[in-house]
Structures are given as C-alpha cells and as structure tokens.
Amino acid sequence: MHFQWYPGHMTKAKRMMQENMKLIDLVIELVDARVPVSSRNPDLDELGKNKARLILLNKSDLAEERMNDVWAAYFKEKGYSVVKLNAKKGGGIKSIQGVIQEACKEKIERDRKRGILNRPVRAMVVGIPNVGKSTFINALAGKACAKTGNKPGVTKGKQWIRLNKNVELLDTPGILWPKFEDQTVGLRLAWIGSIKDEILNTEELAAELTGFLVNSYPDVLKEKYEIEESADGFENLRGIAESRHCLVKGNELDTEKAAKLLLDDFRNGRLGRITLETPENN
C-alpha cells in the first residue's frame, strides 16, 4: 500500500510559517498521542529552533496511559514543555495557561529587564489535519475569545486572538502538512484518519491494522468481535464480517463494511486505549 501526500500545500504553508515565526514567542504543536512522532512535521524543529516550544499530546484518552507518560518524558528530555490533552472533553486545558507562562519565562524575564511589562506571550498553534487544532483553540479561548484584528507587520487574513492579558494566539489560515518518505508513517496516519479514506484501499488498511493489533495488543480483536485471531489480516476481516453479520446479496461476507467498522471502532476508542508507536521504533 503506497501513501502519497500533497507537496503543493507544503511550500505555501512553510513560507507562511517562516513569515510569521518572527512575530511569535512560542510554538504550540498538537500531535496525536497515539502517533506522537508520525503526526509531527519534521520541518518544525528547524523553523522554530529559537522559540519556546510546547507539545500537546492530544487525544491522550485514546492512547495507552503508560505510553503517554513515556512520550511526555521523551519530549521533555529534548527540551519541550509537554501537556497531555483531551481537547474534545477539556482534559488538560486548565493547565495550559500556566505551562505557557513557564515555557516563556526567559522571554518574560528579558522583557522585564528591558522595561517591557505586561506584553502578552504570542503563540502560534500548529498541527496536521485531524489532530484537533480547532477544537483546542475553541476550548482554550472559550467565550472570552476576542479577535484583536490585524496588527502592523501581520499579513492580511491572519488574526490575533486574545485569550487574556497574558496570551495571544496567532490563528493562521492554511495547514502545515508533514512530508514523509517512510511508508510506515503514512500507514499510521491513515489508521488515525489523517489521510482521506476515499483515496485509500480500506480493506487493505484495515487488514494491516489487524496485523498490528494481533502482534502488539493480542486478544483485543478476540474480545471485541469474538473471533479467532489470525496472522492473515484478511482472514481477521472475514471473521469480523461474519461476527457482525456484514453481508452482501447472496449472503456473501462484506469485508469492506467490516473494514470500515474496524477502523471506526479503533479511531473512536472502542477497541480500548491503543498507542501505535514507541520511542524505540522511531
């Protein structure tokens, strides 16, 4: 199975980020807690190298809690601030303001020494598709969100959102896409739904997922679908189709319907909390 991303978006998004980077103090990067490395853009480390950095392990409720801690320690060791987040339900949101202040304390101290007091921290929020960027911004801003309009030096169409007197977010149009040569990264992103299903072979994708689950989370398929787990991914799909009465005319097994069911169950946490990568296999 081959995955192709959209390099046209990359150039435009990268240029936009470079233009805005000089205006901000902090890069807030959302990653999916199930795939914290595969869901990062490799260019960000270069683009934001002189900025404070905060990584939000979003959808942490869908990932294994033990692995959330492992990944948080991994990123902290590399010098990032880290928060485990569930933006949809608001988990971790309350701690964000304090972490932002802590991440930017050197900048705040520098300002104070130069006599600049009470200038808000300016942060840019970045993240790949389907990682929960908009949900996070809405949860953090709440109803108190006030757009402060265009400021000098900011190209038209980019809005500053004032969260409070201490923090302003730069809400930038356009999406920063990861580029990947490693097809395993593509596979993981397809499993979590960051690549459109319409351009993928759903049955092949789901069969691959059953292979991963049988190896890394044995008995999950057995418990959920009451099937005998097999090393053959398509055999697992046939088992799911039979167990869930996914049939087409003539009582043939509908493995495509079973594949969609499995992917939906995985993405919504109905198979339990599952992490797809570890620091060791990256």
Integer Cα distance of 151 and 19 in angstroms: 14
pLDDT at 156 over 70: no
Structural domains of the chain sorted by starting position, each given as residue range(s) with its CATH number in brackets: 7-171 (3.40.50.300), 201-281 (1.10.1580.10)
Q: Which of 168, 170, 153 is nearest to 118 (CA)?
A: 168
Report percent pLDDT > 70 for the chain. Answer: 88
**Structure confidence by residue, pLDDT tens digits, 193-218:** 888 788 889 999 999 999 999 999 99
Average pLDDT score over residue span 172-195: 79
Q: What angle do CA 113, 116, 120 make, to 5 degrees?
A: 120
**Structure confidence by residue, pLDDT tens digits, 23-66:** 999 999 999 999 999 999 878 888 888 899 999 999 999 999 99
**Structure confidence by residue, pLDDT tens digits, 95-114:** 999 999 999 999 999 999 99
Question: Cα 146 from chain centroid?
Answer: 26
Q: How many residues does the chain have?
A: 282
The pLDDT value recorded for residue 149 is 42
Confidence of residue 82 (pLDDT cuts 50, 70, 90): very high
The pLDDT value recorded for residue 174 is 59
What's the CA dihedral at 212, 216, 220, 225 to 10 degrees? 20
Two structure tokens written together for 60: 């942490």
Tell me if 202 sits within 8 A of 195, measured CB to CB.
Answer: no
Q: Quote the DSSP letter at residue 166.
A: S
Integer Cα distance of 273 and 263 in angstroms: 14
Confidence of residue 127 (pLDDT cuts 50, 70, 90): confident
As to burial, measured by CB atoms within 10 angstroms (0-12 exposed, 13-18 middle, 19+ buried), residue 50 is: exposed
Tell me if 184 sits within 8 A of 241, measured CB to CB.
Answer: no
The pLDDT value recorded for residue 18 is 86
Tell me if 162 sits within 8 A of 148, measured CB to CB.
Answer: yes
Greatest Cα pair distance, the chain, in angstroms, is 79
Two structure tokens written together for 126: 């970045």
Confidence of residue 154 (pLDDT cuts 50, 70, 90): very low
Whole-prediction pTM value? Answer: 0.90
What does pLDDT average to over the chain? 88
Average pLDDT score over residue span 230-258: 96
Tell me if 23 sits within 8 A of 51, measured CB to CB.
Answer: no
**Structure confidence by residue, pLDDT tens digits, 212-235:** 999 999 999 999 999 999 999 999
**b/e per residue 113-135 (b: at least 16 CB within 10 A):** eeeeeeebbbbbbbbbbbbbbeb
pLDDT at 173 over 80: no
